[in-house]
Chain A
Amino acid sequence: MTGKKKIVQYVHGMVVLFVLWYGISALAELPVIPSPLAVMSNLVQIFYGKMMVHGFYSLWRIFAGVFLSTVFGMPIGLCMGYFERWDRILSPIVYLIYPIPKIALLPMIMLLFGLGDLSKIVIMILIIIFQVIVAIRDGVKSIPKEAYDPLYSLGAGYMDIFKEIIIPASLPKLLTSLRIAMATAISVLFFTETFGTQYGMGYFIMDAWMRVNYLEMYSGIVVLSIIGLALFIAIDILEERLCRWHCSRR
């Protein structure tokens, strides 16, 4: 799909969403569902002065969380996918930890890593990393065995095999897992930002709520959504850059 076409589609989606929102707010006539027009004009007024700094804090935390999850999760997933033995030993551990509601560990994480950014990023990593590991492991396992044969017959070492086959072949799976993890990451971030910080979209939204300033609260939600959308688009662009072979197949 071309960039232009995509933009048109996004604009179309946004218009539909805003019309729906407008309709509901007009029907309900409640202060808790303000009209999108009021929210947008409020957003424009407060964005630079009040909100931008919160947006940057959130963006940085999400980025750090997703980036570090990839940095730690990818090698583990790659090795589990390629080496039978790693998989045998690590799979049960991963499966046992995966379903634990990590967010419930927040008090413990906060005690260990403090109230600052670190504990927020750690909890995000704890939640995302398992999706990354499992997706990459399965990605590597789905590479047909014959794909390795020409490299084996060339006397390729592990480095060559990882570089030429395993990493490029599992990249699309990684990006898909990040796409799925991103939505979780944003909700987790929101939750963690309601504690122990004065910055971040989570704090901003909860603070506006406490002050019963619904316009600001909705402005915050809109900005947080835009951050999510931007990250989604960033992953799409990354995929087109790194996995052109994969995109051209669709």
Chain B
Amino acid sequence: MIETRDLTVVYKSRNSCYTALDKITMAILEGETCALIGPSGCGKSTLLKVLAGIIREFEGQVAIKNQPVMPKRHRIGFIPQNYGLLDWKNVYQNVTLGLRIKDGKKKIDRNDIAHILDLLGLKGLEERYPNELSGGQQQRAALARAFLLKPDLLLMDEPFSALDAITREEIQDVFLYVWKKNPVSTILVTHHVEEAVYLGKKIVILSDSPGRILKILDNPLFGENDLRNKEDYFQMCLELRKIIKEDWSK
């Protein structure tokens, strides 16, 4: 389980304080996906960075499997907005980066890697560098790196927002496909309502800054086949939009 209790983050500069997150309390069950949706600048990325152990100055509690977050102890896969691939490493080196750091070079299982690369359609691109890949391919490489790690927690910061609409849908499907085979606890930040309904078993709506939790919804539709063409899906999206519009316009 991933839990936050009264999580508050305040950015301090020389003569001002800025509250990015205000008393966030939420819990995600093992093997569950959670979509965080909120307006720009509401602290969504901050929340992810706290969960990733990148931001360490906060009040309240954050725990993964009942232990305070610690990147050295936990296996955390973090995919930032720009995918976080290192320009100077080719696809193979980028994909195995997490394993190399976490487990050392020797423990890398070539079959695992081949399997993941195959699953994400990256076969034959191992020697390419990120700047020789399309946006979709870069995203696939970032997903491969995260899934190969078999993380306790997978964090994705607006992972598909830079892709064109068609590629985005395609990669969302790829993500779901791989996720169903390796169901890791996942939190993804998004500002697309459709994406939240499509990928989040749980949907957390945040308010405008300072980020507070407005509502936590369970999404009964999550994981259904061919969801995008179903009436319920549109209904759910509409409902969500309504909640959001009411609150964000206050």
Q: Which chain A residues have a beta carbon within 8 Å of chain B's beta carbons? A: 146-147, 149-156, 160, 164-165, 168-169, 171, 243-246, 248-249
CB–CB A156/B101 < 8 A? yes
CB–CB A154/B86 < 8 A? no
Q: Which of B73, B86, B98 contacts A147 (CB 8 A)?
A: B86
CB–CB B131/A147 < 8 A? no
CB–CB B102/A153 < 8 A? no
Cα separation A56 to B145 with both chains bound (whole Å) = 49
Return the 8 tightest CB-CB contacts between A and B, nearest first.
A155-B71, A155-B72, A153-B52, A153-B78, A150-B84, A168-B88, A245-B129, A153-B76
CB–CB B88/A154 < 8 A? no
Please give, as numbers and ranges, the residues of chain B lying within 8 Å of A154 by CB-CB distance: 71, 76, 78, 97-98, 101-102, 149
Nearest B residue (CB) for A247: B129
- Known: A149-B49, A169-B86; 5 extra A-B contacts, CB below 8 A, are A147-B86, A149-B52, A154-B97, A155-B73, A156-B101
Let me know if B89 is at the binding interface, CB within 8 A.
Answer: yes
Cα separation A248 to B129 with both chains bound (whole Å) = 8
Please give, as numbers and ranges, the residues of chain A lying within 8 Å of B72 by CB-CB distance: 155
Let me know if B53 is at the binding interface, CB within 8 A.
Answer: yes
Number of interface residues of B (CB under 8 A): 33
Let me know if B132 is at the binding interface, CB within 8 A.
Answer: yes
Nearest A residue (CB) for B74: A155
Instruction: Check A146/B87 contact, CB under 8 A, given A154-B102, A155-B102, A248-B131.
Output: no
CB–CB A150/B53 < 8 A? no
Nearest B residue (CB) for A151: B101
Cα separation A131 to B99 with both chains bound (whole Å) = 37
Cα separation A155 to B88 with both chains bound (whole Å) = 20
Binary A-proximity of B107-151 (CB < 8 A = 1, otherwise 0):
000000000000000000000011110000000000001000100
Please give, as numbers and ranges, the residues of chain B lying within 8 Å of A249 by CB-CB distance: 131
Instruction: Check A164/B71 contact, CB under 8 A, given A154-B102, A156-B101.
Output: no
How far, in Å, is B76 (CB) from chain A's closest CB? 5
How far, in Å, is A62 (CB) from chain B's closest CB? 28
Let me know if B82 is at the binding interface, CB within 8 A.
Answer: yes
Nearest A residue (CB) for B142: A150
Please give, as numbers and ranges, the residues of chain A lying within 8 Å of B29 by CB-CB distance: none
Let me know if B155 is at the binding interface, CB within 8 A.
Answer: yes
CB–CB B86/A165 < 8 A? yes
Let me know if B70 is at the binding interface, CB within 8 A.
Answer: yes
Please give, as numbers and ranges, the residues of chain A lying within 8 Å of B98 by CB-CB distance: 150, 154
